[in-house]
Chains A and B, each alone.
Chain A
Amino acid sequence: MASANYPQVETSLLEKVAPVRPPNDLDRCMERYQQADPEAPGTLIYALSPALLRFFRSQIASRQQADDLLQETWMRIHRVRHTYRPGEPVVPWVYAIARRVRIDGYRRTSRIVAHETAVEVLPEVAHREESRSSVPDFETLIAALPEAQREVITMLKVGGLSLEEVARATSSTVGAVKQKAHRAYEKLRTLLQARAEDASGGEQ
Chain B
Amino acid sequence: MTSALRLLLGLIFAVILVGVATLHRSVLALAIPLLAYVFAALLRRPEALALDVRREVTPDYAPQGAPITIRLTITNQGAAIDELAVQDVLPEGVRQIDGQAAMVTFLDPHDQVELEYTIAAHRGAYDTYEVEVAARDFMSFFERPASYRTTPQLIVHPHYPKLERIKIRPPQTRGFAGPIGARQGGSGVDFWGVREYQSGDPQRQINWKLAARPDQKLYTNIFEQERVADVGIILDARQRVDVVTTSGSLFEHSVHAAAALAENFLEDGNRVSLVIYGSGMGRVFPGYGRHQRERILKALSRARPGINYALENLASLPTRFFPAKSQIVLVSPLSPDDIPVIIRMRALGYAVMVISPDPISYEAALYQDFSSPAYHLAFAERDFMLRQIRRSGAQVLNWRVDQPLQTAVREILTRQPPIIHVQGGAWA
- Binding between chains A and B: no
B residues lining the A interface (CB < 8 Å): none
A residues lining the B interface (CB < 8 Å): none
